[in-house]
Structure formats: C-alpha cells, structure tokens
C-alpha cells in the first residue's frame, strides 16, 4: 500500500503551530514512517508543487502573493486542514483589519514602498475551501496527531467546539471569573488548551477562538460590572482571533462607547 | 566541473530555517559582486498593535512574534516594563526566570542542531532522512529538546506561547513535587547533553576563519541571560538603555527585515558571540569540556556555531538543575506593581542572540509606543558579509550544487528566525561573465 502524502505549508505566522509536529519528538519519526512528508520546509523536505492527500496550512493570508499561493495549495491537496488561529481566523495580525495598516507600514518601515502586504490578514477559508479547521494559538501535538490518525483510518475528524468552561470544570479549577472577579474569556472560548490560564489562576484570553453559540455581549456586560472600561472590554475580544465573527461583533458592540 | 568565471545562484526557498527567505548571489571572476539575503516573511506589525494595549497584555502579545522563542520575547518585555515601574521582583523571580530561559535555550538549540543544521554536515537533505542512519543521535537530540520543553511547560503550561509569565514575575509558582520530578529528568539528561557536545565537535565542519565583532550581554559573575551590559569584542560596553545610540536599523529594498548595524558595521549576536565574550563566566565543568573537545575561544569560525549551541545546552541543563535543586515554593510569585508613566528599555539573550525592547507607557499603564529589535535583523548584515567571505574562500572549486549547499549552511549557522525578523530562503547565485 502506498503511504498517504502530507505537506505542511506556512503563510503569515510565528511558526509555533508547525512545532506541534517538530516538538512531537519520537512521534515525529513514527509519523514520518506512516506518511510520506512531501513538503515541510522548516523540517527540510521542499516540494511545494507536490500533489498530496493531506495539506496542513499554518498562517493567515496577508500578502498578494499568499492569495495566489493558497489557491495552488488547494488545487494540489485532497484534504486541507488549517492549523492554528492564524490560518483558521486570521491570527493576532488580523488586528490590522480593525485599524490603519497602511499607516502602520509607514511607521514600522522607513521605505513602505518596499513592502508588499495587504491591508488585511484573513483566514484561509475566506480564500479557498477548507476541509477541517484546528483552532488554537498554538495548536497542540495531540490535536494534530488525532487528525492524522482519523484521516489515516478514513474517519472524519470530530470538531470539538464546547466552551472552555467544560474543560475547566472537568479539570477541577476554581472559577477565576466567579471567585477572583477576573475577566475570564472561558465562557465564550473554545476548549482544547487544557484550561491552562484558569489553572494558573489567571483569566483566559481566548487563544482558542470562539466556542459554539457564544454570547459575547452578555459576557462583556459582566466584565463592565467587574469594573473594566468599554475599551478594555472591546480589547478582550480583539486579541488572538479578533477577526472571528462572534468576537468581532462583541468588539464592535463595546468599542467607541466610551467608559 | 569546468572552470568558470561567473555564476549566478538562486535559492528560491531555503529549507530548515524558521521563516521565509531567499538568497541571490552574483559571482564575477570568482569574487562575490552581489549578495542579498531576501527575507519576504510578511510583516505583522507587532509594534503597532501593541499601542493601546494594557501593559499586562504585552507578554501574551509579544510571545506571538515567534513560536520557537516566545520566552525570550516575554523576558525582554517584562524587564523593560518593570524598569518603567521601578519594580523589584526579587531573587526568587530572578532565579525562576533564569531556569525558564534555560528551558528555551535547550529547546530551541536542540531543534536547530539536530533537525535544521546537522544534516548539512552529514550529507542529508533533512533530519528525517538523517534519522534513518543516525537514529540514536537524532533521538537523543529530540529527548533533550523535550527536556527544554518540559521546563517551559512547568512554568508556563505549554512550551509554545506559555501563559505563566506576567510583568512582575509569574502567575503561579510550580509545586515542590513538579519541580522534584523535573529535576530528576533533567539530571538524567546531563550525560546525553555532554555526548551531544562531543558529537557536534566531531562533525566534519569546514575550516573558515574570518574577522567579525561579537556582541552579547555580559554579567559580572554569571553567563548572561536576562541582565548585563551590552559588550562587544572590540571593547565597547554600554547599558541596554543606550542601545539606540550605537545600533541603527535601516531598510533595504529586498527584505521585510530591517538591517541593524553597530557603530556602522555588521556584527554577530547569538551562541558563538556569547561563548566568545562570556566563556570565562561558564562553570569549570563546562570549560573543561570545551578544552577537552579542543574548541579554542574566542573562535573566528562561524561553523563552530553548532558546537556553541550544544555547549550552551549542556550549560543550560546544569544551570537549570542548580537552580531547581534549591527550589522553594513562593507564596508571592510576582512583585506588586506601581503603575506610572515612563519609558524603559531592556535586552535579554534570546536563543539566537540579543533581543532588545523599548516601551513607552502612559499613567494608566497603556502602551503608547514600542520598539523591538530581534536577533535575526541584527545578524542579517553579518550573514551577507559571511556569505561573501566564505564563498570566496571555499567556493572556487565547488559545483553549483555544492555552492548552494555551502551558502545554505552558512546561513543556517546563524539559525535565522525569519518569523522573528519580520520565513524560506530561495538561493539565487548569478555568475556573470566579465
């Protein structure tokens, strides 16, 4: 039997989600025995023209060249999986979509005319069809191994979109929103990280993006009750996945209302 | 191959580097007439979207600059912000930050040595192929990398974008039991780390000496990580707050990373620069190993970088064990902060070298201005200078493919983190007829 082929592509990102593979240790070597890794530039194999069964895409679309490149990746891949907040939701760099990124270019670079970048940073799914999305900033090795295993057995991966509170309660953490009056994003955030922040006694900052059916405006009102300003509440929804629709809606609701 | 005078080399996508870049180089009569390390990693404008955010959000935001060295970004940021608030986090926080940083050095260096750099010297395209022949060496490297990740995970919940660091200290002190378990694992790794040093020293590394200025933090009595003056091998020593008077970033048309020069000239930051400047600050055990493998410091051979990384991993492991064996739990793992307006700068030693941050904060603790100078933009001019020197010294008798590999391995000596500097190298060598 021929081994399934895999590619890992990078767009605008910090490389952290590729580490879900590179940090897998011996599991990475096992994986390389189960699948044929055609393209994974950071790990070494380079063949971005190869046709593959599974393409993992890290990073958001933020330049004219990336808009074209993602179409080519799609046309050469049977099953396309976005990995992480950048590819799935535009990433932290999607904060530019809210504010003036042309002005930013001029402020960061002495010669902005040398820089070719779009005014927006957008998720892969706004450009091509995506078969499965992994949320998280960063994703974990566990998430990526689960997807590969499911696909190797011909099973459709399951999307877990419950709120972080489910995971947090199961972990037995003390609720930081209730007990410490911290502006915890857990109620509207997708589980998957292991409820790390509440475990460390701090408020979740929503690095796994919105859970299913989140009520951001209601949670934001609660934050106002804790003493946050409207601008601070808006900022809670505008960090890692600001471009995701439910968070964008909540942000707009609180933005510009003064404190 | 036949004698040729002129050549043009293009590497459109350089593998085994963190980020996207390309190289183009023109040779005319055996001399390099033009070399451009083109970084086309898309800019993400971190410095701008820090503006308007609370100071307490900074460690979580700057971590996202780099998945491989998030701790470095968090460390430079907290030190700069604490200097504004005149916070004194005390010896416990100081020691734990050092242990945490050891974790990142171990993780980042072992990833680079085994997965990114070593295949160059052993004749493999990548570590996965190399692992078929050098299974135990690669497995050893990955096991050590994992120890680094374990340290970060203990302090921060996860090794990529850890969540434990706050301005003033940590959100939570690790439990005695967790520390004791970790120390046991780290101790067991010491012998492997020493073997890894000997292995890198035995690799067939090219002999290529060149003159360059090394720059690193230097501390009065320890191997500097979080504190010290910025010291150069040419004798200049300055405080991190005076960085902007000596280090200037400029913008070149072919790169989204800025080029930084030191008093007008290229310079080196990173593991070899640190060893060159601070080898006398290493404990006797590490200095004895350096002597035993025959590494003479300061070294002018950039190919010694892979050995320097392995040596720093050995040191970092010893240091983490030393700190954590003396661990006591701390009920107040963070200093209380008095928020005030002001401006502050700090530099720490990221795995790839000096990482300088400056912030301006208003009276409410909101960031008004931020400036970040990552190691890779500091090394970029040095990489181009090195390529020219190495290709001219060693390139004459080489085929195009050998020349391409040599160029790529020169670049990889610096472990360029292109995601940080603004990711793939594409080498373009142009040989022109004269």
Query: What pLDDT, in 10s, does the model give residues B106-141?
Result: 999 999 999 889 999 999 988 888 989 999 999 999
- The number of beta carbons lying within 10 Å of the beta carbon of residue B433 is 9
The reply to whether A178 and A122 lie within a common domain is no
Query: Has residue A238 been placed in a domain?
Result: yes
With 80 as the cut, is the pLDDT of residue A104 above it? Answer: no
CA-to-CA distance for B309 and B104, rounded, in angstroms?
12
Query: Has residue A28 been placed in a domain?
Result: yes
Query: Has residue A231 been placed in a domain?
Result: yes
Angstroms from B332 CA to nearest CA on chain A: 13
CA-to-CA distance for B387 and B390, rounded, in angstroms?
5
CA-to-CA distance for B223 and B216, rounded, in angstroms?
10
Measured between beta carbons, the chain B residues lying within 8 angstroms of A46 are 13, 15
Domains of chain B (ranges, CATH numbers)? 7-206+325-432 (1.10.645.10)
Identify which of B47, B429, B389, B396 has the alpha carbon closest to the alpha carbon of residue B208.
Answer: B389
Q: Measured between CB atoms, does B61 come within 8 Å of chain A?
A: yes
The reply to whether A128 and A183 lie within a common domain is no
**Closest residue to B18, CB basis, from A42, A44, A200:** A42
Angstroms from B62 CA to nearest CA on chain A: 10
The reply to whether A33 and A133 lie within a common domain is yes
What percentage of residues in chain B have a pLDDT greater than 90?
71
Q: Residue A41 and residue B16: Cβ atoms within 8 Å?
A: yes
Task: Look at phi and psi of residue A227 and say left if phi exceeds 0, alpha if psi is from -120 to 50, else beta.
Answer: left
Query: Has residue A129 been placed in a domain?
Result: yes
Interface confidence (ipTM) of the complex = 0.94
The reply to whether A33 and A132 lie within a common domain is yes
Give the range with max mean pLDDT: A140-154, A186-200, B241-255, B415-429.
A186-200
Q: Residue B145 and residue A25: Cβ atoms within 8 Å?
A: yes
Burial class of B210 by CB neighbour count within 10 A (0 to 12, 13 to 18, 19+): middle
The boundaries of the domain holding residue A223 are 164-254
Identify which of A135, A148, A121 has the alpha carbon closest to the alpha carbon of residue A13.
Answer: A121
Mean pLDDT score across all residues of chain A: 91
Going from the C-alpha of B2 to that of each of B117, B406, B429, the distances in angstroms are 30, 19, 17
Q: Measured between CB atoms, does B123 come within 8 Å of chain A?
A: no
Q: Residue A16 and residue B125: Cβ atoms within 8 Å?
A: no
Query: Has residue A259 been placed in a domain?
Result: no
- Give pLDDT, residue B278: 98
Q: Measured between CB atoms, does B148 come within 8 Å of chain A?
A: no
Question: Are residues A215 and A163 in contact, defined by beta-carbon separation less than 8 angstroms?
Answer: no
For residue B302, give the DSSP letter: G
Chain B residue with the nearest C-alpha to that of A195: B157
Query: Has residue A158 been placed in a domain?
Result: no
CA-to-CA distance for A86 and B312, rounded, in angstroms?
33
Q: What is the CATH number of the domain that holds A63?
A: 3.40.50.700
Residues within 8 A of B (CB atoms), A 151-180 only: none
The reply to whether A69 and A182 lie within a common domain is no
The reply to whether A141 and A14 lie within a common domain is yes
Question: Lowest-confidence range among A114-123, B240-249, B317-326?
Answer: A114-123
Identify which of B208, B254, B204 has the alpha carbon closest to the alpha carbon of residue B387.
Answer: B208
Token pair for A136: 């998280």
Identify which of B377, B370, B317 has the alpha carbon closest to the alpha carbon of residue B140.
Answer: B317
The reply to whether A137 and A25 lie within a common domain is yes
| DSSP string for B211-274 | ---BEEEE-SSS--SS--EEEETTS-EE-GGGHHHHEEEE--TT-SSPEEEETTB--B-SHHHH
The reply to whether A115 and A50 lie within a common domain is yes
Question: Are residues B278 and B261 in contact, defined by beta-carbon separation less than 8 angstroms?
Answer: no
Give residue B1's pLDDT band: very low, low, confident or very high (50, 70, 90): very low
How many domains are contained in chain A? 2
The reply to whether A52 and A129 lie within a common domain is yes
Cis before B298 (ω within 30): yes
The reply to whether A168 and A136 lie within a common domain is no
Count the residues in chain B: 434
Give residue B401's pLDDT band: very low, low, confident or very high (50, 70, 90): confident
Residues within 8 A of A (CB atoms), B 227-256 only: 250-256
The reply to whether A219 and A169 lie within a common domain is yes
Over residues B271-284, the pLDDT tens digits come to 999 999 999 999 99
Query: Has residue A157 been placed in a domain?
Result: no
Taking the complete model, does pTM exceed 0.80, yes or no? yes
Of the candidates A96, A128, A152, which is a domain's last residue?
A152
The reply to whether A229 and A139 lie within a common domain is no
Token pair for B281: 């600050």
Q: Give the residue with greater pLDDT, B427 vs B117.
A: B117
Q: Measured between CB atoms, does B138 come within 8 Å of chain A?
A: yes
Query: Has residue A50 been placed in a domain?
Result: yes
Mean pLDDT score across all residues of chain B: 90
């Amino acid at each position: 039997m021929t081994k399934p082929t895999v590619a890992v592509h990078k767009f605008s990102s910090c490389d952290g989600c590729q580490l879900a593979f590179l940090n897998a240790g011996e599991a990475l070597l096992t994986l390389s025995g189960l699948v044929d890794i055609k393209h994974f530039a950071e790990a070494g194999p380079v063949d971005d023209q190869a046709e593959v069964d599974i393409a993992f895409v890290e990073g958001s679309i933020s330049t004219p060249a990336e808009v074209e490149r993602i179409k080519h990746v799609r046309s050469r891949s049977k099953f396309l999986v976005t990995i992480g907040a950048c590819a799935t939701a535009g990433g932290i760099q999607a904060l530019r979509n809210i504010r003036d990124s042309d002005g930013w270019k001029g402020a960061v670079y002495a010669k902005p005319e040398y820089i070719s970048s779009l005014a927006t940073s957008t998720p892969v799914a706004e450009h091509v069809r995506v078969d499965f999305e992994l949320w998280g900033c960063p994703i974990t090795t566990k998430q990526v191994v689960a997807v590969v295993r499911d696909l190797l057995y011909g099973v459709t991966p399951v999307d877990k979109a419950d709120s972080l509170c489910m995971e947090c309660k199961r972990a037995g953490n003390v609720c930081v929103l209730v007990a410490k009056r911290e502006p915890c994003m857990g109620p509207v955030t997708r589980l998957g990280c292991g409820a790390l922040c509440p475990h460390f006694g701090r408020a979740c900052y929503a690095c796994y993006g919105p859970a299913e059916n989140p009520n951001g405006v209601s949670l934001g009102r609660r934050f106002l009750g804790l003493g946050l300003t409207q601008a601070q509440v808006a900022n809670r929804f505008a960090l890692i996945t600001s471009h995701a629709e439910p968070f964008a809606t909540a942000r707009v609701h609180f933005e510009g209302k003064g404190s | 191959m036949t004698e040729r005078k002129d050549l043009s080399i293009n590497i459109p996508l350089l593998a085994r580097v963190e980020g996207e870049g390309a190289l183009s180089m023109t040779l005319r009569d055996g001399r390099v007439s033009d070399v451009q390390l083109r970084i086309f990693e898309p800019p993400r404008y971190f410095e701008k979207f820090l503006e308007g955010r609370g100071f307490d959000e900074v460690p979580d935001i700057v971590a996202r600059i780099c998945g491989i060295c998030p701790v470095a970004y968090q460390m430079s940021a907290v030190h700069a912000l604490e200097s504004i608030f005149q916070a004194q986090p005390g010896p416990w926080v100081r020691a734990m930050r050092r242990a945490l940083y050891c974790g990142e050095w171990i993780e980042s260096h072992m990833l680079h040595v085994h997965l990114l750099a070593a295949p160059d010297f052993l004749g493999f395209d990548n570590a996965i192929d190399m692992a078929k022949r050098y299974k135990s060496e690669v497995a050893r490297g990955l096991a050590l990398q994992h120890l680094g990740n374990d340290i970060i995970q203990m302090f921060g919940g996860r090794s990529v974008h850890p969540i434990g660091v706050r301005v003033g200290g940590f959100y939570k002190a690790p439990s005695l039991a967790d520390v004791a378990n970790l120390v046991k694992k780290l101790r067991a790794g010491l012998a492997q780390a020493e073997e890894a040093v000997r292995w890198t020293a035995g690799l067939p590394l090219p002999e290529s000496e060149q003159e360059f200025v090394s720059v690193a933090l230097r501390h009065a009595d320890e191997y500097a990580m979080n504190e010290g003056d910025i010291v150069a091998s040419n004798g200049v020593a300055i405080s991190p707050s005076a960085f902007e008077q000596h280090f200037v970033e400029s913008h070149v048309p072919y790169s989204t990373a800025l080029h930084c020069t030191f008093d007008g000239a290229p310079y080196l930051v990173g593991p070899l620069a640190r060893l060159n400047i601070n080898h006398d600050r290493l404990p006797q055990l590490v200095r004895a190993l350096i002597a035993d493998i025959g590494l003479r410091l300061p070294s002018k051979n950039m190919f010694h970088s892979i050995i320097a990384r392995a040596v720093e991993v050995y040191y970092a492991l010893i240091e983490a064990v030393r700190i954590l064996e003396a661990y006591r739990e701390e009920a107040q793992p963070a200093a209380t902060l008095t928020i005030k307006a002001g401006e502050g700068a700090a530099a720490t030693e990221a795995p790839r070298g000096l990482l300088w941050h400056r912030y301006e904060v208003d009276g409410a603790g909101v960031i008004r201005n931020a400036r970040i100078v990552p190691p890779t933009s500091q090394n970029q001019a040095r990489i181009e200078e090195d390529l020219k020197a190495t290709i001219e010294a060693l390139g004459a008798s080489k085929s195009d493919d050998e020349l391409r590999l040599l160029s790529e391995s020169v670049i990889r000596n610096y472990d360029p983190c292109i995601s940080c500097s603004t990711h793939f190298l594409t080498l373009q060598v142009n040989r022109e007829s004269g």
